[in-house]
Amino acid sequence: MDMAIAQNNSVYTQYLFNGLVINPAYAGSHNALSASSIIRKQWLGIEGSPFASTFSVHSPVNKHKSSFGGLLYQSKTSIYNELTLQGIYSYRVDLTEEKKLSLGLGIGFTDYSIRYSNLTHQDPNDPAIPGDNQNLFQPTVSAGAYYYTNTFFAGLSAQNLSGFLYGLGSQDDIRSYRHLFATTGKVFTVSPKLKLKPGLLLHYYNRSPLLVDLNFHALLDEVIWLGVSYRHQVSINYSIRFNLNRQLSFGYSYDQSIGNQSITKNGAHEIVLSYLFKYYKKNIVNPRFF
CA distance 279 to 29: 11
Contacts of 174 (CB under 8 A, 6+ apart): 112, 114, 134, 136, 165, 166, 168
Q: Are 118 and 137 in contact (CB under 8 A)?
A: no
CA distance 285 to 148: 12
Share of the chain above pLDDT 90, in %: 55
SS3 (DSSP) at 7: coil
Average pLDDT, the chain: 84
Is the residue at 95 inside a domain? yes
230-255 pLDDT, tens digit per residue, is: 998 889 999 999 999 888 999 999 99
Is the residue at 209 inside a domain? yes
Per the structure, how many domains does the chain have? Answer: 1
CATH number at residue 219: 2.40.160.60
35-86 pLDDT, tens digit per residue, is: 999 999 988 777 778 899 999 999 999 778 999 999 999 998 878 888 999 9
**Which pLDDT score, from 0 to 100, does residue 177 have?**
78
When pLDDT is cut at 50, 70 and 90, the band that residue 131 belongs to is low
First to last CA, the chain: 45
Is the residue at 239 inside a domain? yes
Is the residue at 4 inside a domain? no
Residue-range definition of the domain harbouring residue 134: 15-279
Is the residue at 243 inside a domain? yes
Is the residue at 287 inside a domain? no
Contacts of 154 (CB under 8 A, 6+ apart): 146, 147, 148, 183, 184
**Which pLDDT score, from 0 to 100, does residue 10 have?**
66
Cβ atoms within 10 Å of 272's Cβ, excluding its own: 23
Among the listed residues 201, 192, 183, the one whose alpha carbon sits nearest the alpha carbon of residue 219: 192
142-186 pLDDT, tens digit per residue, is: 999 999 999 999 999 999 887 665 555 444 556 677 899 999 999
CA distance 215 to 231: 8
